[in-house]
Structure 1
Amino acid sequence: MTKQIGPLVCFDLGNVLIKLGPPIHLYARADCRAEVTSLLELYSLGQLSTNAFYERLQCFMVWPMSRSELQEAFVYTRLPGFQNGSEALIEELSALGLELAVLSNINEAHWQYLQKLKVFRHFKHAFLSFELGIKKPHDDIYKLVERETLRCGRDIVFFDDREENVLSARRCGWSAFQVPPDNIVVAVRRNLAGLGLL
């Protein structure tokens, strides 16, 4: 008989816990934006090192940019801060003893920056596409979370801003909810309360 353990509360990052600023595409030449999209895909799957990514990215910019200028645009401008109230929400959920996880299609540079922020000490697990080599909404990434956390189905509560990711999680039996980027704290609290977790 499987030992009963508590629920896992799992969050996406961009547009959920973290605000998103202008994408790097805005700094690229118009005729190269498809190439930038392909480059980002490879990088978010861990198929390029950070150095190789920046070297290739420089080739597509409207004007020559140094490594530090690229980093400013790609990391700090893209990730300007937390969504309103999201830090306090995570502190509260952690204080309640809920086990927390990140499940994100993210690249190495973004995660290296975010993981240094104090709030992420409350997360027991981080499932990151650049480390795993797979991305949402592929079913395999949800199954991997289940294996690693010893949870399945409705034992996992998941919040994401993208419908396709939520639908895939629901197909795996998760309690998954799409949250609006402009009001995520209210949506998360409402859904957790509906599950009896708040």
Structure 2
Amino acid sequence: MTIKAVVFDIGNVLIEWQPERYYDRMFGEERRRAMFAEVDLHGMNDLIDTGHDFRATVYRWADKYPQWSEEIRHWHDHWLDLATPAIPHSVRLLRALRAKGVPVFALTNFGIGTWAIATPKYEFLNEFDRAFVSGHMGVIKPDPRIYEMLEEQSGVAPDGLLFADDRRDNIEAARARGWTGHVFTGPDGWAGCLVAHGLLTEAEAI
């Protein structure tokens, strides 16, 4: 099996995505736990990631839960403070692959509005050969259709794709289509995977 292209998830692979950490810092862990127990903010975010309007969706949820309205609006008004920081070693791996001429794609659950905010902030998000962004595609991982769309639009067969994602269900869905999957738990392990597949040398993967 020869890998023809490498596919990166973004949240918790290239950029840390831990909204709970932000809310703990801003409002305290106890209040955050109470809010997340009552309000499915990650479900709200799934709507954004499937293409719903970013501000309208967040503000509609804020109106549904007036006791949490201020906190919920932070999801929109301070989104860059939720999606931070970048993971430098992962960014270096992305750039090392591109320097070797390996096609590199993103496959990410990301909203149209949030992508527009993130791409000016994080320059490396503009460096993929192609970014497959769920908000523009109208479907999110782990729906099999999003993987099929990447195959169709990239022209790379499933057995030529190596994919890193921090969520096991997303990886299992990719493997079910014949992709090679790596469950991302940190950049060192991902670096080792790329070396093992002969895509980078150990020196290039540092």
Output the TM-score relative to the length of structure 2.
0.79
1:90 to 86, 94, 105: 94
CA distance in 1, matches of 2:127, 2:18: 25
Q: Secondary structure at the match of 1:17?
A: coil
1:156 to 150, 155, 161: 161
Alignment of 1:33 with 2:39, yes or no, is yes
Correspondence 1:118-129 to 2 at 5 A: 118-129=123-134
- Counterpart in the other structure of 2:55: 51
Aligned partner letter, 2:151: E
Correspondence 1:59-74 to 2 at 5 A: 59=63, 60=65, 62=67, 65=70, 69-73=74-78
Alignment of 1:21 with 2:9, yes or no, is no
- Comparing 85-94 with 162-171, greater Cα deviation is found at 85-94
CA distance in 1, matches of 2:72, 2:175: 41
- Counterpart in the other structure of 2:195: 193
Alignment of 1:80 with 2:95, yes or no, is no
Compared with structure 1, are the counterparts of its residues 44 and 121 closer, same or farther at alpha carbon in structure 2 (3 Å cutoff)?
closer
Kept in 1, the 8 Å contact 2:59–2:73? The answer is: no
Alignment coverage as a number of residue pairs: 188
CA distance in 2, matches of 1:140, 1:82: 28
Q: Give the gaps of 5 or more residues in structure 2.
A: 24-31, 201-206
Output the TM-score relative to the length of structure 1.
0.82
Which of the pair is proportionally richer in helix? 2
Compared with structure 1, are the counterparts of its residues 86 and 72 closer, same or farther at alpha carbon in structure 2 (3 Å cutoff)?
farther
Compared with structure 1, are the counterparts of its residues 179 and 39 closer, same or farther at alpha carbon in structure 2 (3 Å cutoff)?
closer
